[in-house]
């Protein structure tokens, strides 16, 4: 029995019976507590932010605020992930910019790749689009059987199809054949056989072969993300889907373009880049 899965199942029960505001407060407290207790995870986030803010003057107090808020924001997004098990399409609390863009991309009848990253709430974003009529698929990380089953049920409940990263080739074929939007989180190399790229002030690995298949198949590409908004905003989330395009350069140029776009998104929301893993390659910065 997986203890983490059991705790998440308990979290799902609480999210279903408690008002969102109360769940949010509990998540805020738990996120802060986890930040205090887990030095290892805290150091990973500090290292990420050291690269993001490289050579920029930022007060230590502000830097530590971003570290703490990363844990809190992640806990809050987990509340909304838990709620995917029972909410309806009308229950999503999202302001969307560019909702019409997936339909524009699919007019080419070649499927479409939605390039996103581990920023904000990617599962909530995919489920929102699927629940509102967009034919969505997504590549997802494979975990142990019990957790993978739990996550798959949540992700697919509102219409999104998921494919493990080991079946990426089939996922692309399916997207092209059935003219679907395929969401790919390409800021991490889950399979550990990717290519090294410059990323902020360091080096990271991104998925190998992604650019090649997109270019070869002439699939339209969109960039997008969904992030938590400040409490004074009307909607809990902001979703952004940029205008689709067909890339005409080579794979190296595509990857540089993709990384530049990811850096732009992360700089806007540094405390919502949820990468709790030591994935920088060489020359680690000291937190």
Mean per-residue pLDDT over the chain, rounded: 94
pTM: 0.95
Query: Do 284 and 47 meet the contact criterion of CB atoms below 8 Å apart?
Result: yes
In a domain, 11, yes or no: yes
**Mean per-residue pLDDT for 30-44?**
97
Residue of 184, 141, 178, 133 lying closest to 160 (CA atoms): 133
**Tally of domains in the chain:** 1
pLDDT computed for residue 282 by the predictor:
82
CA 240, CA 269: separation in Å to the nearest integer? 13
In a domain, 280, yes or no: no
**Mean per-residue pLDDT for 145-172?**
94
CA 268, CA 258: separation in Å to the nearest integer? 16
**Mean per-residue pLDDT for 164-169?**
94
pLDDT computed for residue 143 by the predictor:
84
pLDDT computed for residue 7 by the predictor:
84
Task: Give 94-132 pLDDT, tens digit per residue.
Answer: 999 999 999 999 999 999 999 999 999 999 999 999 999
Task: Give 196-233 pLDDT, tens digit per residue.
Answer: 999 999 999 999 999 999 999 999 999 999 999 999 99
Q: Is the pLDDT of residue 164 over 50?
A: yes
pLDDT computed for residue 191 by the predictor:
87
In a domain, 278, yes or no: no
pLDDT computed for residue 36 by the predictor:
97
pLDDT computed for residue 280 by the predictor:
96
pLDDT computed for residue 286 by the predictor:
42
Q: Which range marks the domain in which residue 236 is found?
A: 3-272
pLDDT computed for residue 284 by the predictor:
54
pLDDT computed for residue 56 by the predictor:
81
Q: Which sign, positive or negative, has the C-alpha torsion 239, 240, 241, 247?
A: negative
In a domain, 211, yes or no: yes
Lowest mean pLDDT among 138-152, 172-186, 225-239: 138-152
Q: Report the percentage of the chain scoring pLDDT > 70.
A: 98
């Amino acid at each position: 029995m997986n203890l983490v899965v059991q705790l998440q199942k308990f979290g799902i029960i609480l999210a279903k019976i408690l008002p969102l505001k109360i769940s949010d407060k509990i998540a805020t407290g738990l996120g802060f507590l986890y930040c205090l207790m887990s030095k290892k995870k805290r150091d990973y986030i500090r290292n990420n932010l050291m690269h993001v803010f490289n050579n920029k003057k930022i007060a230590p107090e502000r830097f530590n605020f971003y570290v703490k808020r990363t844990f809190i924001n992640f806990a809050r997004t987990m509340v909304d992930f838990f709620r995917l098990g029972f909410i309806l399409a009308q229950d999503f609390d999202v302001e969307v910019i560019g909702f019409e863009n997936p339909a524009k991309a699919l007019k080419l009848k070649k499927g479409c790749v939605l390039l996103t990253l581990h920023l904000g709430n990617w599962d909530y974003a995919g489920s929102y689009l699927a629940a509102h009529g967009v034919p969505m698929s997504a590549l997802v990380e494979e975990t142990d059987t019990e957790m993978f089953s739990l996550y798959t049920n949540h992700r697919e409940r509102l219409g999104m199809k998921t494919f493990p990263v080991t079946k990426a080739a089939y996922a692309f074929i399916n997207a092209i054949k059935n003219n679907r939007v395929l969401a790919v989180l390409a800021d991490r190399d889950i399979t550990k056989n990717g290519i090294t790229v410059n990323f902020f002030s360091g080096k990271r690995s991104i998925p190998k072969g992604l650019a090649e298949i997109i270019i070869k198949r002439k699939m339209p590409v969109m960039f997008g993300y969904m992030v938590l908004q400040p409490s004074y905003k009307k909607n809990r989330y902001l979703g952004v889907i940029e205008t689709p395009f067909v890339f005409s350069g080579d794979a190296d140029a595509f990857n540089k373009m993709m990384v530049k776009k990811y850096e732009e998104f992360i700089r806007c929301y540094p405390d919502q880049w949820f990468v709790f893993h030591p994935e920088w390659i060489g020359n680690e910065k000291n937190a």
